Amino acid sequence: MFQKREVHFVPGMKPADLWPKVWDWWSRQGFQLTQTAPTSLSGTSFYSRIGLRRELWLVLSEAPNGCNADLALNAQVTDEGLVLGAVSAVVFLPVAVVGGAISYSEYETDARNLMLAFWQYVYSLGAPLGTPPPQVPEVPTPCAGCGSAMLPDWKVCPYCGRARSSPT
């Protein structure tokens, strides 16, 4: 249904050194992970807020003076989401069309925020003084409970249920 893919060069990091850190990061985001090769993984996560199953693929490969990280996020409508969409379409076709557009837009925003948070984390590992390169935009503060990336308008983390901390 939806796929977003990005490949980034990570200076100063070897795939074997980066591997355990990215595994831990994606686990904290709520993904059930499987190692598919020495430095590649796949994972799934159910995004109940909009009835989608999120899928992740990450491959780390050797490059001169660093490594390449190839990341893809995919969304599939779950059986529950499909049934709900079909019932809505029969009863409320215009509402179902608008609801589908909102869900797609919301997933796209979530995927973009997840990817931005991931790239910011990865670049902080290899960059001097822990500063990301200027091409990596700022991302919202992660959940204080589980560390998952949160959309700016979320009051409660959808992964662990903890309320967003008030700014200090």
Check residue 161 and give its pLDDT.
84
pLDDT, tens digit, 9 for 90 and up, residues 21-36: 999 999 998 899 999 9
Residue 103's pLDDT band, with cuts at 50, 70 and 90, is low
Average of per-residue pLDDT across 114-128: 83
Instruction: Render the chain in DSSP notation, one character per residue.
Output: -EEEEEEEEEET--HHHHHHHHHHHHHHTT-EEEEEETTEEEEEEEETTTTEEEEEEEEEEEETTEEEEEEEEEEEE-HHHHHHHHHHHHH-HHHHHHHHHHHHHHHHHHHHHHHHHHHHHHHHHHSGGGPPPTTS---PPPPTTT-----TT-SB-TTT-PBPPPP-
- What is the residue extent of each domain of the chain? 2-130
Check residue 49 and give its pLDDT.
58
Check residue 31 and give its pLDDT.
92
Angle at 132 between CA 116 and CA 151, to 5 degrees: 30
pTM over 0.85: no
Could you give the CA distance from residue 91 to residue 83 in angstroms, rounded to a whole number? 12
Check residue 139 and give its pLDDT.
54
Q: Which of 8-12, 36-40, 46-50 has the lowest mean pLDDT?
A: 46-50
pLDDT, tens digit, 9 for 90 and up, residues 124-146: 887 554 444 445 555 567 788 87
Longest dimension (CA), the chain: 58
pLDDT, tens digit, 9 for 90 and up, residues 43-97: 998 866 556 788 999 999 999 989 999 999 987 765 544 444 444 444 444 444 4
pLDDT, tens digit, 9 for 90 and up, residues 144-165: 887 777 777 778 887 788 888 7
- Domain 2-130 annotated CATH 3.30.310.80: yes
Which amino acid type is present at position 158? P
